[in-house]
């Protein structure tokens, strides 16, 4: 039985969430509160939940402050449901880097209808969250005295690194990009993320690293010391012309239930006439990226997955390993070492 606790200052929202979850056999809402401070008193009576559904803007204590305290004291899967996580919102990125399993944008009006329409999505999110391996994420400070004006792109990359990630990936990608050495080979990343969020994600990372981080644009050339993040709501491919690799953005339906899709990225790379590519599949639910990674391995490229212990959700790496797409499973520290040592 998955025990859920709802913290939201709106009675209508709390009642709506409880209503859509109450008839699910393996889910039980054990409590509710109008804010995190009051919730702490309820915990004494009902115990601690397996999953929180958490608003952000609340009296006495806001949701992100509570989330940080939760990370420090008792890491627990959190689903953020808030009106403050609109497209491009830095609040949404902050929630994801704290380890939020799902971000759901709550509407200003039509709340009851919204929750009824999103019933299956909520149930899926709760079940995914209940299986997540949550780890404490310390705050990452901005690198002092580093301005993007001081960050230079390197030469055109003759080889590059490809990364695919989903649930929990924001934390891992931040760990990787804030630790790798400068002047690394070009990196392309597909992180499952809605449209509008990827620009904020790239901008945030630019304040934390000496790499040049950009949201993908059509025709963007892969150069050393540059990281290109797939644009939310758009598929990203890598294409080759002579000795130059560049980005091609594509608008077609979801693949493996995602847009951008990791398989779209990996499949495009598998068509490139080089074996100087290193690819990683990181934490995430589902199987996106597995078959594309296998094609890369069959073409002679180095393919790796994040290991189970360090994954928030050991879904995509597990499937990729099962089908023989992975050369080796690595910890986050080993992934960073591989990237730093990659000469192409």
Residue that the structure tokens 């995430």 belong to: 284
Span of 192-196, 199-203, 292-296, 318-322 with lowest mean pLDDT: 192-196
Q: How far apart are the C-alpha atoms of 56 and 186, rounded to whole Å?
A: 36
Last residue of a domain, one of 97, 130, 163: 130
Residue 136 within any structural domain of the chain:
no
Element (H, E) at 303: strand 302-306
Catalytic residue among 166, 211, 268, 310: 166
CA quadruple 48, 54, 56, 60: dihedral sign:
negative
In terms of residue numbers, what domain contains 317?
Answer: 148-341
Bridge partners, residue 3, by sequence: 28
Burial category of 334 from C-beta neighbours within 10 Å (exposed 0-12, middle 13-18, buried 19 and up): middle
Q: Do residues 173 and 313 share a domain?
A: yes
Number of Cβ within a 10 Å radius of residue 326 = 24
Q: Is 314 within the bounds of a domain?
A: yes
Q: Could you confirm whether 251 is annotated as catalytic?
A: no
Greater confidence (150 vs 25) lies with: 25
Residue 126 counted as domain residue? yes
Is a pLDDT exceeding 80 seen at residue 63? yes
- Which residue carries 């990827």 as its tokens? 198
Q: Are residues 326 and 267 in the same domain?
A: yes
Residues 166 and 291 in one domain: yes
Span 313-339, mean pLDDT? 97
User: Residues 293, 166: one domain?
Assistant: yes
> Domain for residue 176, yes or no?
yes
Distance CA 343, CA 4 (A): 47
Q: Is the pLDDT of residue 150 over 60?
A: no
Looking at the structure, tell me whether residues 34 and 121 fall in a common domain. yes
Q: Per residue in 217-233, is it b (16+ CB within 10 Å) or e — as a string?
A: eeebebbbbbbbbbbbb
Is residue 184 a part of any domain in this protein? yes
Instruction: Flag whether 89 is in a domain.
Output: yes
100, 130, 160 - which closes a domain: 130
Residue given tokens 């980005």 in the structure block = 247
> What are the tokens at 321?
């390993």
Mean pLDDT of 107-133: 89
Both 103 and 184 in one domain: the answer is no
What total of structural domains would you count in the chain?
Answer: 2
Distance CA 288, CA 257 (A): 8
CB atoms < 10 A from the CB of 158, how many? 15
Please give the average per-residue pLDDT across 46-60, as a whole number: 95
Query: How far is 101 from 93, CA to CA, in rounded Å?
Result: 12
- Report residue 151 as tokens: 């960050």
Asked whether residue 323 carries a pLDDT value surpassing 70, the answer given is: yes
Cβ atoms of 102 and 79 closer than 8 Å: yes
- Cis status, amide bond into 260, omega within 30 of 0: yes
Say if residue 140's pLDDT is above 60: no
| Whether residue 84 is found in the same domain as residue 171 | no
In a shared domain, residues 95 and 224: no
Same domain, 67 and 213: no
Task: Identify the band that residue 320 occupies on the pLDDT scale cut at 50, 70 and 90.
Answer: very high
Same domain, 259 and 121: no
Q: Is 258 a known active-site residue?
A: no
How far, in Å, CA of 236 to CA of 218, rounded?
9
pLDDT range class, residue 145, cuts 50, 70, 90: very low
3-state secondary structure of 6: strand
**Is the distance from CB of 227 to CB of 211 less than 8 angstroms?**
yes
Q: How far is the C-alpha of 275 from the C-alpha of 261, rounded, in Å? A: 22
Which of the residues 235, 288, 305, 310 is marked catalytic? 288
User: Residue 56 is part of a domain; what is its CATH number?
Assistant: 3.40.50.2300
In order, the DSSP letters of 197-255 are HHHHHHHHHHTT-SSEEEE--TTPBPBTTEEEEPPTTSEEEEEEETTEEEEEEE----B
192 is catalytic: yes
CATH code: domain of residue 193: 3.40.50.180
The percent of residues above 70 in pLDDT, for the chain, comes to: 94
Q: Is residue 111 in a domain?
A: yes
Q: Is 35 in the same domain as 182? A: no
93 and 224 both lie in a single domain: no
- State the Rg of the chain over Cα: 20
Residue 196: CB atoms within 10 A of its CB come to: 15
Catalytic residue among 192, 268, 270, 307: 192
Query: Is residue 296 situated within a structural domain?
Result: yes
Q: Domain boundary at 96, 130, 164, which?
A: 130
């Amino acid at each position: 039985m998955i025990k859920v606790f709802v913290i939201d200052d709106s009675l209508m929202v709390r009642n709506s969430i409880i209503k859509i979850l109450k008839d699910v056999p393996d889910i039980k809402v054990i409590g509710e509160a109008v804010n995190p401070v009051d919730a702490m008193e309820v915990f004494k009576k009902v115990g601690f939940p397996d999953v929180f559904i958490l608003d952000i803007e609340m009296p006495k204590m806001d949701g992100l402050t509570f989330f940080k305290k939760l990370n420090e004291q008792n890491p627990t899967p959190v689903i953020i449901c808030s009106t403050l996580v609109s497209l491009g919102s830095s609040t949404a990125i902050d929630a994801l880097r704290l380890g939020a399993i799902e971000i759901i944008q709550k509407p200003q009006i039509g709340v009851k209808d919204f929750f009824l329409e999103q019933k299956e999505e909520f149930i899926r999110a709760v079940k995914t969250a209940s299986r997540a391996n949550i780890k404490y994420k310390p705050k990452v400070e901005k690198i002092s005295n580093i301005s993007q004006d001081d960050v230079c792109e390197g030469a055109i990359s003759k080889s590059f690194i490809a990364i695919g990630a989903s649930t929990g990936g924001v934390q891992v990608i931040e760990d990787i990009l804030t630790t790798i050495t400068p002047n690394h080979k070009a990196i392309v990343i597909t992180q499952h993320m809605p449209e509008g969020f990827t620009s904020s994600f790239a901008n945030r990372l630019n304040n934390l690293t000496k790499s040049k981080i950009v949201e993908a644009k059509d025709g963007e050339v892969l150069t050393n010391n540059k990281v290109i993040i797939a644009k939310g709501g758009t598929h990203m491919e890598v294409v080759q012309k002579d000795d130059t690799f560049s980005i091609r953005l594509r608008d077609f339906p979801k693949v493996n239930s995602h847009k951008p899709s990791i398989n779209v990225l990996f499949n495009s790379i598998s068509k490139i006439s080089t074996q100087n590519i290193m690819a990683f599949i990181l934490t995430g639910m589902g199987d996106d990226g597995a078959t594309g990674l296998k094609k890369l391995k069959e073409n002679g490229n180095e393919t790796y997955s994040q290991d189970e212990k360090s994954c928030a959700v050991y879904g995509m790496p597990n499937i990729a390993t099962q089908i023989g797409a992975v050369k080796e499973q690595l910890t986050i520290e080993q992934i960073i070492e591989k990237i730093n040592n990659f000469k192409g």
